[in-house]
Chain A
């Protein structure tokens, strides 16, 4: 396979097209705009349709309608736009519609700034919209992973009938790296017998979820809860780096994950046995990555581009056994690996 040099945003768009995505609805926003831009050029070449919606709210509801017909569909935005999509996302989750939603995070809160951040972690992983639901959340750290995880996102969405969110940031969206496109997946996925494809010769289907009795409401919620529990052990993904003999471990995803990998190498040069767990699924959180190492490790540090959000999930897994510290950058800033090592050593008294 030949390598291509591509921006992360373009790589997501191309991977979506190669995954059979036929419809894209969106509204441009920096730093995610290359996704709709690429789709507007290329989707028609494969018989698909790109449509610039009048707003993010409209776009996510168009995704609902498109997905209800069984077609592969995607939308993409950046933090303020992702916020606007929450109601629609909750509706998609409620009726179990597969869709891929991309958030190329930029600094918040509010209109914020254009710099990279991971401060949408709570919003993305804990539901974001109203009601009890979780989308599957995938966090790439390289442009190649933006390809691989976008392809996987469409399969996961269809396999589990759920919205899947790709959580990246402005650096990953804007950066170019070499990528290869693997052949599309040949996974055996369930037939979409629930899709509204025209009711000729069969019972009509209804892709909506308004519950006029609490009993039906409870049944639906229990069904979703059961599905979450089914997904949890099956979909966890992560990368461990130098954890085998680690006495301390950094937990970091996406951009802060790749910077932390350099920090681990720097610390190792000083003789400190530091390792890295890089979650790739943010929901479900990769609890399995911590199995077997909790007894060997003296402490964890969560490194995030936020004031500390994923750290709560790390603490749930660590469950008070050892200290869990935090180092973060906010507002569009990213840490240098040296800063991470300095903070780590100071917080664990290793100076």
Chain B
């Protein structure tokens, strides 16, 4: 098993956190994992992204040129990654914000109105990222819910223990839609 993933959006959408949470869970599951942010000049100008690899094998390059899974939280990220996704790969699109389309029919496009779901259920857009991550986990058999919950306990629990439960509910919401 090996998934090469990209999480992209604008600053504040929590795309680095999504990637970290997934990488952390992958580590807890005993997989090889790497996480690397876009740290160069490309992050100046509003978009942020990170690459995550989860693999049963040793990981050579941690950078991802052709993701098997890409998550785009805003329009600029859709434009940047839609043509890079590997054929038969998955593109998760935050359809609350992104209204773009593509001619590509060799990839799976999975839309989720994450900001609307976040507002309707938690009265904040801040959990849109976690809802998308839950949706991704339901669609792709990468890691199970228990491992993600453990990662939330460790990562969120350390700094914001009061946010642990709501993050878990956001994962479950994303899984159920």
Contacts and interface: CB of A to CB of B under 8 A. Distances in A.
Interface in A318-351: 332, 334, 336-337
Contact of B62 (A114, A175, A332): A175
A171 B40 CA distance: 11
Contact of A334 (B20, B24, B37, B63): B63
Given A5-B35, A175-B34, A176-B35, A258 B61 contact: yes
Interface in A173-187: 174-178
B110 to A, nearest CB: 26
- Give the size range of A's interface with the partner: 20 to 34
A171 B65 contact: no
A300 to B, nearest CB: 19
Interface in A224-281: 255, 258-263
Interface in B44-81: 58-63, 65
Contact of B60 (A174, A178, A262): A262
A176 B40 contact: no
Nearest to A261: B60
Contacts of A127: none
Given A176-B36, A177-B33, A3 B27 contact: yes
B41 A114 contact: yes
Contacts of A31: 39-40
A177 B34 contact: yes
B60 A258 contact: yes
A263 B41 CA distance: 29
A183 B58 CA distance: 25
Contact of B40 (A115, A260, A263, A336): A115
Interface in B140-176: none
Interface string A152-190: 000000000000000000110011111000000000000
B132 interface: no
A220 interface: no
B23 interface: yes
A30 interface: yes
A70 interface: no
Interface string A110-151: 000111000000000000000000000000000000000000
Interface string B6-49: 00000000000000100110010000011111011100000000
A114 B27 contact: no
A336 B61 contact: yes
A336 B65 contact: yes
Contacts of A115: 40
Nearest to B37: A174
A205 B60 CA distance: 49
B58 A171 contact: no
Nearest to A333: B63
Interface of A: 3, 5, 30-31, 113-115, 170-171, 174-178, 255, 258-263, 332, 334, 336-337
30 contacts: A3-B27, A5-B20, A5-B27, A5-B33, A113-B41, A114-B39, A114-B40, A115-B40, A171-B62, A171-B63, A175-B34, A175-B62, A176-B20, A176-B33, A176-B35, A176-B36, A177-B33, A177-B34, A177-B62, A178-B33, A258-B61, A260-B60, A261-B58, A261-B60, A262-B60, A262-B61, A263-B60, A334-B63, A336-B65, A337-B61
Given A171-B36, A259-B60, 11 more contacts: A5-B24, A171-B63, A174-B37, A175-B36, A176-B35, A177-B33, A259-B61, A262-B60, A262-B61, A263-B60, A334-B63
Interface of B: 20, 23-24, 27, 33-37, 39-41, 58-63, 65
